[in-house]
């Protein structure tokens, strides 16, 4: 089955970035990790960096499996230890770009000490943190970021702990780039990862994401689409926001944006500076002097710039000939119309239509209008339609012995997508930690 699917998807634009022979992946339908990986792959492509010089390190958990699906050098480590392993890779070969892709339980729970110390050292790493408020792979336990009062399997009467706000934690620890998005803001996620890949220093990108199978279901919050709508309605874009104001309450507002972007010498730069004082200009690390390494870095930067220029040229060509590429099918004029289209599609479901309205507001707030509007236009339409069907089908459904109204039933039932449920079950059985 995996081979067939691999063949089927070979034509996908990201196939060169993914280990297609490892598909299908383990993530549940509606989970945000898949779209984050897609954003990541696109960011790598757009950044122009050499994929051969990219290393992805993951910890344990659902997000920990990312390392196994990306077609780069990748290390799947023990629980919480992705950052120190990545630190080792980066320090052993400073030419490499090292990305840590893991979940919030892995990074800020068991690996919390490593997270803050890598930020403190300004270790040259890109950390992508999938924050779904739950330990997914072990069955939905409470994590350091689970909002107060949320249900988890180990807080069956509601979470009474105080959660971390990760951007605040990272800011206090000294991270030099901090951004937060939700898995709905995939264009922004891509953009942030691209920026982080091209900059030096410790970059932390948090992506709030739905865990459909566990967090959403246990808290009766609907399915993945409901959550994306929640993100759309409740995200507040505040670039440069004081990170003290980024706390997330249960189903409350989510402050998103790029909060911190500053320059500070990285660990290696600081170490070089200290060593050159001691040893003099002859100082070498792994047999290379600082000017030699700087020259190599400069050459690599030029190669990256050339790749980016080449890509920009191809894109410009594409825009000049609007018939061919799909991007051209959403010209500027269509941007305004797009949300209206999305709202118009599922006329049958009033609820959905009502929910789709705030799209315009959200779009108006976001400065990167074009990108978000495009994403909204594409996503909102088909998903809203699916939602409408689901609502219609599941008017009344039994879940855990209780009869629930349609909205709640959505959270419990999977009747509308029996295949997906079976797969999810099989997968969760197989992959339990």
Partner 1 sequence: MKTVPADPKGVDSGPHFMDGDHAIAEGALAAGCRFFAGYPITPSTEAAERFAERAPEVGALFIQMEDELASIAALIGGAWGGQKCMTVTCGPGFSLMTENLGLACMTETPMVIANVQRGGPSTGLPTLTAQQDMMQARYGPHGDNMIIALCPDSPQECFDLTIEAFNLSEFYRVPVIILTDETVGHMHEKVVIPPADQIKVVPRNNYSGPKEDCRPYKFDSQGGHPMVRAGDGYSFHVTGLTHNERGYPVMTADQNKIVVTHLMEKINGNADKIIRLDEDQIDGADVVVVSYGITSRIAVKAIQDARKEGIKVGSLRMITIWPFCEKRIREISAKVKAIVVPEINYGQMVLEVERNAGGRCKVISVNHCGGAVHDPQVILDAIRKAIQ
Q: Which two tokens stand for residue 354?
A: 């009502």
Cα–Cα distances in Å, from 215 out to 109, 143, 236?
Answer: 17, 11, 22
Q: How many residues bind partner 1 (CB under 8 A)?
A: 46
Per-residue buried b or exposed e for 5-41, using 16+ beta carbons within 10 Å of the residue's own CB: ebeeeeeeebeebbbbeebebbbbbbbbbbbbbbbbb
CB of 74 to partner 1, least distance (A): 5
Query: What count of residues does the chain have?
Result: 433
Cβ pair 359, 342 in contact under 8 A: yes
CB of 118 to partner 1, least distance (A): 9
Q: Select the residue interacting with partner 1 from 76, 199, 238, 378 (CB under 8 A).
A: 76
**C-beta of 117 vs 200, nearer to partner 1:** 117
Q: Select the residue interacting with partner 1 from 12, 15, 78, 153 (CB under 8 A).
A: 78
Confirm or reject binding of residue 251 to partner 1 (CB under 8 A).
no
| Dist. CA 170–CA 128, nearest whole Å | 12
Q: Select the residue interacting with partner 1 from 45, 81, 185, 187 (CB under 8 A).
A: 81
**C-beta of 118 vs 338, nearer to partner 1:** 118
Long-range contacts at 137-142 (CB < 8 A, ≥ 24 apart): 137/60, 137/61, 137/62, 137/64, 137/431, 137/432, 137/433, 138/61, 138/432, 138/433, 139/214, 139/432, 140/211, 140/213, 140/214, 140/215, 140/218
Binding mask 138-177 for partner 1 (x = CB under 8 A): ----------------------------------------
**C-beta of 85 vs 127, nearer to partner 1:** 85
**C-beta of 96 vs 151, nearer to partner 1:** 96
Of 26, 39, 98, which is closest to residue 65 (Cα–Cα)? 26
**C-beta of 89 vs 256, nearer to partner 1:** 89
Q: Select the residue interacting with partner 1 from 172, 270, 279, 344 (CB under 8 A).
A: 279
Stretch that binds partner 1, among 65-73, 191-199, 254-262, 319-327 (CB under 8 A): 65-73
Residues 115-134 that bind partner 1 (CB under 8 A): 117
The percent of the chain in helix, strand and coil, each rounded to the nearest 5, is 55, 15, 35
Q: Give CA 365 to chain center in angstroms.
A: 21
| Dist. CA 106–CA 128, nearest whole Å | 12
CB of 6 to partner 1, least distance (A): 13
Confirm or reject binding of residue 287 to partner 1 (CB under 8 A).
yes
Stretch that binds partner 1, among 229-237, 266-274, 322-330, 348-356 (CB under 8 A): 266-274
Confirm or reject binding of residue 84 to partner 1 (CB under 8 A).
yes
| Dist. CA 115–CA 132, nearest whole Å | 18
| Dist. CA 412–CA 404, nearest whole Å | 9
Confirm or reject binding of residue 45 to partner 1 (CB under 8 A).
no
Confirm or reject binding of residue 87 to partner 1 (CB under 8 A).
yes
| Dist. CA 327–CA 350, nearest whole Å | 30
Stretch that binds partner 1, among 112-120, 342-350, 356-364, 383-391 (CB under 8 A): 112-120
Contacts of 16 (CB under 8 A, 6+ apart): 51, 71
Q: What is the widest separation between alpha-carbon atoms in the chain?
A: 77
Cβ pair 35, 186 in contact under 8 A: yes
Confirm or reject binding of residue 428 to partner 1 (CB under 8 A).
no
CB of 264 to partner 1, least distance (A): 18
Confirm or reject binding of residue 283 to partner 1 (CB under 8 A).
yes
| Dist. CA 130–CA 338, nearest whole Å | 29
Confirm or reject binding of residue 19 to partner 1 (CB under 8 A).
yes
**C-beta of 34 vs 68, nearer to partner 1:** 68
**C-beta of 86 vs 335, nearer to partner 1:** 86
**C-beta of 87 vs 182, nearer to partner 1:** 87
The site for partner 1 (CB under 8 A) is made up of 19, 22, 52-53, 55, 57, 67-68, 71-78, 80-81, 83-93, 95-96, 113-114, 117, 267, 271, 274-275, 278-279, 283-287, 430
């Amino acid at each position: 089955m995996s081979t067939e699917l691999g063949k089927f998807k070979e034509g996908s634009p990201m196939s060169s970035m993914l280990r297609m022979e490892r598909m299908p992946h383990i993530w549940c339908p509606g989970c945000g990790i898949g779209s984050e990986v897609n954003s990541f792959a696109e960011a790598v492509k757009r950044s122009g960096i050499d994929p051969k010089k990219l290393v992805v390190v993951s910890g344990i958990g659902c997000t920990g499996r990312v390392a196994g699906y990306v077609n780069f050098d990748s290390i799947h480590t023990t629980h919480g230890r992705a950052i120190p392993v990545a630190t080792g890779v980066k320090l052993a070969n400073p030419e490499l770009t090292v990305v840590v892709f893991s979940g919030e339980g892995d990074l800020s729970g068991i690996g919390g000490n490593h997270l803050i110390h890598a930020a403190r050292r300004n270790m040259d790493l890109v950390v992508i943190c999938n924050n779904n408020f739950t330990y997914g792979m072990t069955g939905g336990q409470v994590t350091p970021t689970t909002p107060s009062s949320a249900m988890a399997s180990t807080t069956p009467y509601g979470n009474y702990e105080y959660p971390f706000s990760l951007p605040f934690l990272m800011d206090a620890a000294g991270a030099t780039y901090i951004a937060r998005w939700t898995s709905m803001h995939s264009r922004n996620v891509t953009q942030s990862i691209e920026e982080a890949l091209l900059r030096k220093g410790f970059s932390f990108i948090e992506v709030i994401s739905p865990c459909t199978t566990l967090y959403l279901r246990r808290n009766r919050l609907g399915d993945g689409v409901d959550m994306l709508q929640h993100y759309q309605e409740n995200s507040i874009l505040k670039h440069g926001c004081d990170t003290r104001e980024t706390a997330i309450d249960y189903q409350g507002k989510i402050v998103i944006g790029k909060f911190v972007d500053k320059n500070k010498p990285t660990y290696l730069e600081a170490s070089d500076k200290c060593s050159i004082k001691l040893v003099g200009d002859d100082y070498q690390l792994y047999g290379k002097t600082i000017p030699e390494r700087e020259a190599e870095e400069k050459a690599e930067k030029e190669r990256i710039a050339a790749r980016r220029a080449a890509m920009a040229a191809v894109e410009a060509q594409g825009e000049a000939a609007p018939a061919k590429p799909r991007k051209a099918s959403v010209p500027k004029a269509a941007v305004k119309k797009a949300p209206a289209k999305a709202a118009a599609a599922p006329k049958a479901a009033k609820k959905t239509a009502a929910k789709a309205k705030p799209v315009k507001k959200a779009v108006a707030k976001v400065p990167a209008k074009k990108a978000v509007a495009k994403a909204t236009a594409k996503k909102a339409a088909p998903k809203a339609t699916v939602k409408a069907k689901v609502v219609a089908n599941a008017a009344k459904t039994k879940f855990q012995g209780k009869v629930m109204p349609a909205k709640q039933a959505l959270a419990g039932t999977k009747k509308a997508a029996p295949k997906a449920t079976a797969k999810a079950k099989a997968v969760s059985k197989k992959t339990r930690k």
